[in-house]
Chain A
Amino acid sequence: MALLSPETTPDGTTGTAGSPETARRGRPAERPQLDPRERERLERAFSVPRARFLLGVPVAAILLVWSFVGAEFDFAKLGEGAANMGEFLSRMFPPTWDKLDVIVELLVETLQMAIVGTVLGAVLSLIVAFGAASNIAPRWLYYPTRWVMNVIRSLPDLVFALMFVSAVGLGPFAGILAMTVGSIGSIGKVFAEAMEAVDDGPVTAMQAVGSSRRQVVQYGVLPQAGPMLVSDTLLLFEGNVRGATILGMVGAGGIGLELTTAMKMYDYGHLSAIVICIIVLVTVIDQASAVIRRKIT
């Protein structure tokens, strides 16, 4: 007889298991119970906030006031400034379009910088992200990679731009390098988190068929993270187009230099034309990436 009853179980510990009927009826007394006071509190429609919430509100308020004071935020000044702002804006109209060819040429350069910076940045970020995703990378690689990414993220792109301008000279190349390195910090982290967020099931299944680590990533992780990675890359591209206009201010190529020059020369009509062109470009790119995002997700 293969079937063993509880009474005949060799170690004897299960002999006191009781009849199946007892088990079927259940034993509410043995179940973990909700604390009656907690139950009463949960049943109340309007409950008194917990102590930590009551403490947290004044702490947050003090922090906010402290920051307003420290940052010299002044409503009166804002009111006075509004008039100046209006005057500044009024000077920008009408825009003058006589140097449109220069603007277009520089905008195209800005766009090219953003494209190259995004592609290089995304490729490098993807490589780095493998090392920074806790479900892929071994511990010894994970922590150093995260640390390097944190260091890069804590530095503004403008610092990288100045660094690369002094290294490779003025021009778009320095700007591209700055964008590429900068994106490792920002988008590398986002990529890593997209890979960490994938459903574990298919990853387990890939391990279960005897795949190598590389195959698990290729067939289990990347197909799941794909839409997120593309979406994040588009976001990086949008950011790089805007970023490229700022990098130009320190001589790292793009339309930024023309923008600052126009400001310094009080050439408001030209400035206005540049700003309008940038807005048009950024809007077109935003719309295009929205369409792509809809298609892939």
Chain B
Amino acid sequence: MTTATTLSSAPPSTTLPLATVRGLRVAYGDRPLVLDGVDLDLFPGELVALLGASGSGKSTLMKALTGFAPVNEGSVRVAGYDLTNLRHGQLRGLRASVGQVFQQFNLVGRLSVLTNVLTGALHDAGPVNLVGGFSAAHRRRALELLDRVGIAHKANEQARSLSGGQQQRVAIARALMQQPRIVLADEPVASLDPKMSHAVLDLLHDIARQDGIPVLVSLHVLPLALEHSDRIVGLRHGEMLVSAPTRELDAEKLDVLYADVDGHDDRFDEEGDHRGAALA
């Protein structure tokens, strides 16, 4: 489907990709294909923006990378795991090595900020945590991560008492607590105001560069993608139409992603929540 030319200019470096997707097709049950032949590589240190209108398959692609969506056809390799051929017990290992950030933050509101960050280490917490204990080393690292995202002073407060931007920072710290090899952020700024959106994307970009891990961020606001990403991948109706370094792209070239999409254009919709609008 999507040709090799799409990928030819993709690699920003000579290192091996940490995620490789080839010819991915995804359908839920008998419904039409949500993803139709997607090829994608994610390289260390880059922030890749994933663009597309509502229902274009952005979220499904994210889910397919972590085993939350089925892989009907094609191959998906993430952090050394082959998702089409996962052995028993490997799914947890895969998920532990992929940090995820969500649109609605998905923090446990009644738990403290620190505990929320600590849950990122659950995969290597011993049986001691049956009673809720995390090791001192884990706690130290969680606090360092809170320092890094700038809200260590809120460590002891309930997560639900924080503002949206602060909650998203906690969620990013939780993802980093996993010591991830890749970070996936599905519409991480869709619930935030523009100023906070820039701050969160700056943070994610810093993480990509400083930690040398790929960060894949789905966005629906073009200017944010053009400003903050190293590379842009664009989907329309489940097909990959764009994959190029951001410096080679502009809003006009990305128009193709939003043509013929339910006669609706939400590119500049800053606060849209389109979960219900997808796949009409």
| Interface: B16 (CB within 8 A) | no
CB atoms of A210 and B239 under 8 A apart: no
Q: Which residues of B contact A24 (CB under 8 A)?
A: 258, 265
Complex partner residue of A30 from B66, B96, B242, B263, CB under 8 angstroms: B263
The answer to whether A6 touches B108 (Cβ under 8 A) is no
Any B CB within 8 A of the CB of A49: no
Main secondary structure of the interface of A (DSSP, over half): helix
Contact in complex: A18, B259 (CB < 8 Å): yes
Q: Tell me the chain B residues, 248-270 only, with Cβ under 8 Å from chain A.
A: 248-249, 253, 255-256, 258-265
* Closest-CB distance, B180 to chain A (whole angstroms): 9
B163 at the interface (CB under 8 A from A): no
Q: Encode B148-192 as 1/0 by CB contact (under 8 A) with A.
A: 000000000000000000000001001000100000000000000
A296's closest neighbor in chain B, by CB? Answer: B110
Inter-subunit contact A3/B174 (CB<8 Å)? no
Partner-contacting stretch, out of A73-81, A129-137, A163-171, A198-206: A198-206
Query: Interface segment, B6-14, B138-146, B215-223?
Result: B6-14
Interface string of A116-141 (1 = CB under 8 A from B): 00000000000000000000000000
Task: Judge if A2 is at the interface, Cβ distance under 8 Å.
Answer: yes
B120 touches A209 (CB 8 A): yes
Flag if A201 contacts B122 (CB, 8 Å).
no
Q: Is A52 interfacial (CB-CB < 8 Å)?
A: no
Distance between Cα atoms of A207 and B261 in the complex (Å): 33
Residues of B within 8 A of A224 (CB): 108-110
Contact A205 to B263, CB < 8 A, known contacts A2-B243, A219-B122: no
Contact B106 A204 (CB under 8 A): yes
**Contact bitstring B117-134, A, C-beta under 8 A = 1, else 0:** 001101101000110100
Are B9 and A2 interface neighbours, CB within 8 A?
yes
Contacts of B237 in A (CB 8 A): 14
**Distance to closest chain A CB from B43 (angstroms):** 15
Least Cβ distance of B105 to chain A in Å? 8
Size of B's binding interface in residues, CB under 8 A: 61
CB of B93 within 8 Å of the partner chain:
yes
Chain A positions 176 through 216: 1 when the CB is less than 8 Å from some CB of chain B, otherwise 0? 00000000000000000000000001101111111110110
Instruction: Report the minimal beta-carbon distance from A199 to chain B, rounded to whole angstroms.
Output: 8
Residues of A within 8 A of B236 (CB): 14
Q: Does A47 contact B (CB under 8 A)?
A: no
Q: Are B106 and A23 in contact (CB under 8 A)?
A: no
Q: Provide the residues of chain A in CB contact with B261, threshold 8 Å.
A: 23
Complex-state Cα separation, A266 to B87, whole angstroms: 76
Residues from chain B with a CB closer than 8 A to the CB of A204 are 68, 102, 106
Closest to B177 in A: A209
Q: Is the beta-carbon distance between B1 and A11 smaller than 8 angstroms?
A: yes
Residues of A within 8 A of B243 (CB): 2
A239 CB-CB contact with B under 8 Å: no
B209 proximal to A (CB < 8 A): no
Is B69 part of the binding interface, using a Cβ–Cβ cutoff of 8 Å? Answer: no
> Which B residues touch A223, using CB under 8 A?
108, 110-111
- Closest B residue, CB atoms, query A227: B110
B residues less than 8 Å from A11 (CB atoms) = 1
Could you tell me if A19 and B259 are in contact, using CB atoms closer than 8 angstroms? yes
Interface centre among A24, A202, A208 (most CB of B within 10 A): A208
B95 at the interface (CB under 8 A from A): yes
Which among B6, B106, B125 has the highest number of chain A CB atoms within 10 Å?
B106
Known contacts A2-B8, A2-B243, A202-B107; decide if A211 and B259 are in contact (CB<8 Å): no
Asked if residues A1 and B1 are in contact (CB atoms below 8 Å), the reply is no
Q: Assess whether A211 is in contact with B123, with CB atoms less than 8 Å apart.
A: yes
CA distance A31 to B243 in the complex (A): 31
Q: Does B84 contact A (CB under 8 A)?
A: no
Alpha-carbon distance between A262 and B261 when the two chains are bound, in angstroms: 80
Contacts of A9 in B (CB 8 A): 239, 241
CB pair A10–B111 under 8 Å, yes or no, is no
Binary per-residue interface labels of chain A (1-40) against chain B in the complex, 1 for a CB within 8 Å, 0 otherwise: 1111110011100100111101111111011000000000
- A31 CB to nearest B CB, Å: 7
Residues of B at the A interface (CB closer than 8 Å) are 1-3, 5-10, 66, 68, 92-98, 100, 102, 104-111, 115, 119-120, 122-123, 125, 129-130, 132, 171, 174, 178, 236-237, 239, 241-245, 248-249, 253, 255-256, 258-265
Top 5 closest A-B pairs, CB basis? A210-B96, A2-B244, A201-B106, A205-B106, A26-B263
Besides A2-B10, A23-B261, 16 other A-B contacts (C-beta < 8 A): A1-B5, A2-B245, A2-B248, A3-B248, A4-B241, A5-B256, A17-B260, A31-B262, A202-B108, A207-B68, A208-B95, A209-B96, A209-B178, A210-B95, A210-B178, A223-B111
